[in-house]
Amino acid sequence: MFNKLSLKIGLLFFVFLLGIEALLFATLYVTLVNQRVDEVMESLLARGETHSAVLADNFEPMTLEHVGMMEAESSFVAVITDENGEILINSDPLEPEMLEVLGHIDYDSESPEGKVIEKDWDDKRYIAADSPITIGGEHAGHVFMFSDTAGIERMVKGLQNQFLAAGLITVLLTVVTVLLLSRFITLPLIRMKEATEQLSRGNHRVDLSTDRNDELGELANAITRLSGDLDRLKNARNEFLAAISHELRTPLTYIKGYADILGRPELNESERKEYVGIIREESAHLARLIENLFELAKLDRLQFEIKREAVDVGGLLQSAAALVKPAFERDRIQLQVDCESEGLVYWDPERIQQVLLNILDNARKHSEAGSQVAMSCREENGKVDIRIRDEGEGIPAEELPYVFERLYRVEKSRSRDSGGSGLGLAIAKEIVELHGGVIELESKLGSGTVAAIRLERGDGSAESIAGR
């Protein structure tokens, strides 16, 4: 379970924490030991100073005797000398180490200040302090105090043991913390890795949703969302394929059926003509369907090119109206164009015309004879707003969100006269969005539909921009 990442993170944490802890412990230890040793030295010197002060007032054999007796009972050794270092009294028997210290004193150049003269508690058996006795400004003698270093060593040893115990506990706690921490960080990563492996194996439903709101939580939720998207995409693709085969099958069934009928000898000329017409119509429908599908495939493969050029909006609307005019006249639907927006825009005129033609075609197909279709344009917040309004049958509110989907038609039965394939609005939406615009449909069942396209005027510098 101790995989690579957690090992790396764990080791890194461990080394860092241990380094910091070791530094802190070492500093604390050295400071503590020095402080304690200084305290011992200072108390030794203070004791000597007290004796020296008493003796300065009373430098008599009796007092010397008293000091000697006092220190004989204590753990210290006091040695009192005259100004030349001749020993007057010593509280305990003198050890060679003490004599060595006394032998190294330069009695002639002594200052009247008391001081510690042997500090090396680590190597020597005794530490020592010297408190000179000064009577009336005259140097009269010395009180030397000795203390066994075994006490200090014991104290330091005790400290060392305490530090060792604390250090071990700290290392143990560090290890536990690092283990928990690295698991806390790497466990979700391992789960995400497994989830993405499942995704690539084709299982598009993984659930990593978590309450964490840190970066790892965000990543987990993003992967969950991705899996949902993939799942939806897979379903959409399957549905699309099913719809396409259905769309292709229907006209082919007509063509085959009428071709079979045409083979019958008993048909008269007018019947024959009618059936040939139907076959022609259906093959034209098939060809258009395939062409539209091909166009959408190009849009999907990012090969669709928007060739922007300077065009006049009014002119664009007029020419689209002129193209659909015969069909509108045939169906006796009135078409009005009213454009307030002036000046040039930078769009792909052919593509935008394709969008307008499809919307006009929809308006015509879903309007009754005698009704009116109005195409208008105006300027709004620096954008061009084109609207095509019809007074046709309208779209049920529950169907409205889907009309831009590929192969979606409100009237599910594919009647030969309405004849659409359900691709027109999908293509229109792609084209408008490639131009950076939006296309929306508003509709009320029974009273009509408004298609609105909002487009930026565009920039002359971007003459030709490859799709997306």
Contacts with ligand ATP, residue ranges (CB under 6 A): 292, 358, 362-363, 366, 390, 392-395, 403, 408-411, 420-426, 449
For ligand ATP, which is the closer residue by CB, 2 or 402?
Answer: 402
Parallel, antiparallel, or unpaired for β 383-390 and 438-444? unpaired
Q: Which of 123, 126, 120, 125 lies closest to 144, judged by CA?
A: 126
Q: Which of 362, 367, 421, 449 binds Mg ion (CB under 5 A)?
A: 362
Binds 411, which of ligand ATP, Mg ion, none (CB < 5 to 8 A, cut-off by type)? ligand ATP
Q: Which of 415, 363, 370 lies closest to 392, judged by CA?
A: 363
What is the rounded distance in angstroms from the CA atom of residue 376 to the CA atom of residue 385?
Answer: 8
For ligand ATP, which is the closer residue by CB, 308 or 409?
Answer: 409
Binds 366, which of ligand ATP, Mg ion, none (CB < 5 to 8 A, cut-off by type)? ligand ATP
Binding to Mg ion in span 419-458, by CB under 5 A: 420, 424
Binds 409, which of Mg ion, ligand ATP, none (CB < 5 to 8 A, cut-off by type)? ligand ATP
For ligand ATP, which is the closer residue by CB, 400 or 465?
Answer: 400
Q: Let me know: does 18 contact 170? Beta carbons within 8 Å.
A: no
For Mg ion, which is the closer residue by CB, 64 or 403?
Answer: 403
Residues 395-424, mask of contacts with Mg ion (x by CB under 5 A) = -------------------------x---x
Q: Let me know: does 465 contact 390? Beta carbons within 8 Å.
A: no
6 is a contact residue toward Mg ion (CB under 5 A): no
Give the shortest CB-327-to-Mg ion separation in angstroms: 13
Give the shortest CB-285-to-Mg ion separation in angstroms: 13
For ligand ATP, which is the closer residue by CB, 68 or 394?
Answer: 394
| Residue whose tokens read 């078409």 | 335
Q: Using the rule CB under 5 A, give the single segment among 218-226, 256-264, 358-366, 369-377 that binds Mg ion.
A: 358-366
For ligand ATP, which is the closer residue by CB, 47 or 285?
Answer: 285
For Mg ion, which is the closer residue by CB, 147 or 362?
Answer: 362
For ligand ATP, which is the closer residue by CB, 128 or 373?
Answer: 373
Query: Residue of minimal CB distance from Mg ion?
Result: 424
For ligand ATP, which is the closer residue by CB, 308 or 406?
Answer: 406
Q: Which residues pair with 135 in a beta bridge?
A: 138
Q: What angle do CA 355, 357, 361 make, to 5 degrees?
A: 120
Binds 449, which of ligand ATP, Mg ion, none (CB < 5 to 8 A, cut-off by type)? ligand ATP
Binds 410, which of ligand ATP, Mg ion, none (CB < 5 to 8 A, cut-off by type)? ligand ATP
Binds 393, which of ligand ATP, Mg ion, none (CB < 5 to 8 A, cut-off by type)? ligand ATP
Binds 403, which of ligand ATP, Mg ion, none (CB < 5 to 8 A, cut-off by type)? ligand ATP
Parallel, antiparallel, or unpaired for β 372-380 and 383-390? antiparallel
Give the shortest CB-256-to-ligand ATP separation in angstroms: 22
> Torsions phi, psi of 449, nearest 5?
-135, 145
Give the shortest CB-235-to-ligand ATP separation in angstroms: 20
Binding site residues, Mg ion, CB under 5 A: 358, 362, 420, 424
